[in-house]
Each structure stands twice: as structure tokens, then as C-alpha cells.
Structure 1
Amino acid sequence: MKEYIFVDTETTGLNAETDELLSISIIDHYGRCIFNSLVKPENKKSWDEAERINGISAEMVMKAPKFRHLKPVLSKLFQGKHVVAYNMAFDASFLGKTLRNASSLHCCMRAFAEYFGEIDPNGQDFKLKKLVFAVNECNPDFKFNSHTSLGDSLATREVWLRLMRYKSIAKKYGA
């Protein structure tokens, strides 16, 4: 059985070109937290809209390490690992080169979309679902703090391990 690690980030916004990380959490295959840190942005001083969603204020990250100081630690944690994020494209756009030596990158959101099977209105792909929806479908008894990197990492693990029970999904997305 392949062992995975699960990562989630919270950010000042949705654009990796202009926004910055606010928190990063990594959970191992067994549900243990192996990394959890707030991150102090280099340039952004406020992020009102993101703060309303993730609850992370400028005051909370004032004494946190900057991402550039966390890069070596993160790179080492990802090295040789099979890394899963709920929206890998988004998280990878912020984590950048720290993921370059991972064995593989997996998107739980895309795997869940195919598992759930709802076709997107454009008819080209499966409709992507929010993590809260995916968790509720996979295990309605699982409780977590959404929009926190730690809670979302744990929730991603819950959904992913459930999806890997289905051979067709595991073969396509977990390989």
C-alpha cells in the first residue's frame, strides 16, 4: 500500500502571483500532524476577504516565520513522498519548488469529482466539489474545522483514504 502525506495551505487570496501563504499544515498517512505553522507574508499587510474565510489576521502571523525560512523544512518533508492536496493546483502554486522532489502529487478534489460523477455544465469534465461536501459524502460523522490548514489537511486525508478503496479511482488518481 502506498503511503501518502496530506497538505493544505491558507492564503491571503487566490492569486499565487500577488497573494501569499498564511498557514501550512501537513498530515502523515496515519493522521499525525508532522508540520503546522502560521506564515508571515513578505509583502501583504492586510487581507480582509481572506481573513473573513480563514480567520487568520495580520496580528496572528506577526511573529510567524516567513515562507522563505520554511522552504528547506518543507522541501525535506515532501522529498520522496506521495503528496495529496484537495486542490493540488492551488496549493502547489503557492508551495512552488518545495514540492519538486516529491515522488508524486495528487489532487483529491479531481478524484472526488470523478467518484461523485456529476458532469460539469460545460459537459467537458466532472463538476468539482468543495471539501466540506466531499467529507460529508465520504464520512458524515467526520468533524473538522474547515478553512484551517490543519482541519482541511485532516479532511483531505479522510476523503482520500476513502476514495482509494475504489479500484478505478485508486488506479487513475493514486498511481
Structure 2
Amino acid sequence: MIVFLDLETTGLNYHGNDEFVQIGIVDENGEVLLNSLSRPVNHKDWSAAEAVHSISPEMTKDAPTNKELSETIKNIIRDKEVIIYNLEYDVEFILDEIAVAKSAKCCMKPFAELYGEWNDYHGNYKWQKLETAARYVAHNWDGNAHDAAADCQATRSVWNYMKSIGKI
């Protein structure tokens, strides 16, 4: 079984003390298995990230912490193939949880190859934003970009499109 996972975070420093403020997980049929805010314990303000995903400290004040969500996440993804749009980034926030998955795969890298925009500097295909990938596959948004569950649905559309044309 395949599930799609997305996080919204307090910032980009997963090697520091940034945390996720929202997690979404949907199954291969698009059913939402988890859509939860999460209360950071290391941050009281994340204004730069809030400007992107619109999740405020006030919205998370009564939410469970990342640690409190850990067992729920593990129970959902255990022995499943987990697809994440930007795997290398998101997985750093959920290392303990992802360890119970059957596998974890990135959707962004194969999409970058499909999209075909070459990056001479890095010598590979340029990574594209999820919004670009969703537009490319004519995904109909049910919710806003940078909402974890909505981003899971977009990732699901991109993954299924690439699968349908034999790119994954």
C-alpha cells in the first residue's frame, strides 16, 4: 500500500531546531488518514514560514507536539511505501517515524526529470515546486497549496500521472 505524506514546518533548518507545524497523510485512493496541526516546542514564532503556509502560533497552541504525534504517524505508515514530494527535506523531520515504513520515495526528483529543465550548475534536472508539478499534471486543488493534506493530494496526482506514463 502507498501513502503520501507532507509537512509544513517552522523553517528550513532541520539540522537545527525547526519542527513541523502540520502533517498530512493520504492513501492511494485520496482518503485523508491524518491531517493535524502540531505544536512546536522549540519555537514561539515562525513568521517567515507562516508567510508561506499561513499556520500561526495561535493555530497550533492546543495541538499535539511532534513527539505526541509520533506513534500515530508510525501506525499509519508502518510497512507502507511512503511518497513525499521533497523526500530529502521532509524526511529529516520524521526520521524515527519513517524507519517503520516499507520504503520512502521522492516524487520531486522523477518529476524534475520529466519536466526536463536542465541545471548546468548542478549537472542535473532543476527541482520544481509542487505547484509547478501540480499544474503540469492538471491537478485540481481541493484546498490551498502549503496545506499538508492538500499538498498530499497534489503529490498523489503527480505520482499517479508519472506512473500512468511509465516514468516511475
TM-score interval w.r.t. the shorter chain? over 0.9
Give the TM-score normalised by structure 2. Answer: 0.95
Report the Cα distance in structure 2 between the residues aligned to 1:48 and 1:127, rounded to whole angstroms. Answer: 28
Look up the SS of the partner of 2:154 in the other structure.
helix
Report the Cα distance in structure 1 between the residues aligned to 2:115 and 2:163, rounded to whole angstroms. Answer: 13
Amino acid at match of 1:84: I
Look up the SS of the partner of 2:124 in the other structure.
coil
Amino acid at match of 2:86: N
Q: Which runs of 5+ in 1 are unaligned?
A: 171-175
1:44-123 aligned at under 5 Å gives the runs 44-122=43-121
Correspondence 1:7 to 2:5: yes
Displacement of 1:117 after TM fit?
1.7
Displacement of 1:120 after TM fit?
1.1
1:32 is matched with: 31
1:173 is matched with: none
Amino acid at match of 2:11: G
2:164 is matched with: 165
Displacement of 1:166 after TM fit?
2.5
- Relative to structure 1, is the Cα distance of residues 124 and 60 closer, same or farther in structure 2, using a 3 angstrom cutoff? same
Amino acid at match of 1:13: G
- Relative to structure 1, is the Cα distance of residues 53 and 121 closer, same or farther in structure 2, using a 3 angstrom cutoff? same
2:135 is matched with: 136
Work out whether residues 17 and 42 of structure 2, in 8 Å CA contact, stay in contact via their aligned partners in 1.
no
Report the Cα distance in structure 2 between the residues aligned to 1:86 and 1:148, rounded to whole angstroms. Answer: 13
Displacement of 1:156 after TM fit?
0.4
Displacement of 1:123 after TM fit?
5.4
| TM-superposition CA deviations, 1:41-96 (whole Å, max 9, x none) | 01100001111111011100000001111111111111110000110111101111
Report the Cα distance in structure 2 between the residues aligned to 1:70 and 1:92, rounded to whole angstroms. Answer: 15
Report the Cα distance in structure 2 between the residues aligned to 1:92 and 1:143, rounded to whole angstroms. Answer: 24
| TM-superposition CA deviations, 1:112-157 (whole Å, max 9, x none) | 00111221132511110001111111115x1241011111111000
Q: Which deviates more, 109-118 or 27-36?
A: 109-118
Amino acid at match of 2:40: P
Give the TM-score normalised by structure 1. Answer: 0.91
> Aligned residue pairs: how many?
166
Q: Which runs of 5+ in 2 are unaligned?
A: none
Look up the SS of the partner of 1:91 in the other structure.
helix
1:155 is matched with: 154
How high is the sequence identity, in percent, across the aligned residues?
Answer: 35
Look up the SS of the partner of 1:139 in the other structure.
coil
The alignment yields a C-alpha RMSD, in angstroms, of: 1.1
Report the Cα distance in structure 1 between the residues aligned to 2:120 and 2:146, rounded to whole angstroms. Answer: 26
Q: Which deviates more, 123-132 or 34-43?
A: 123-132
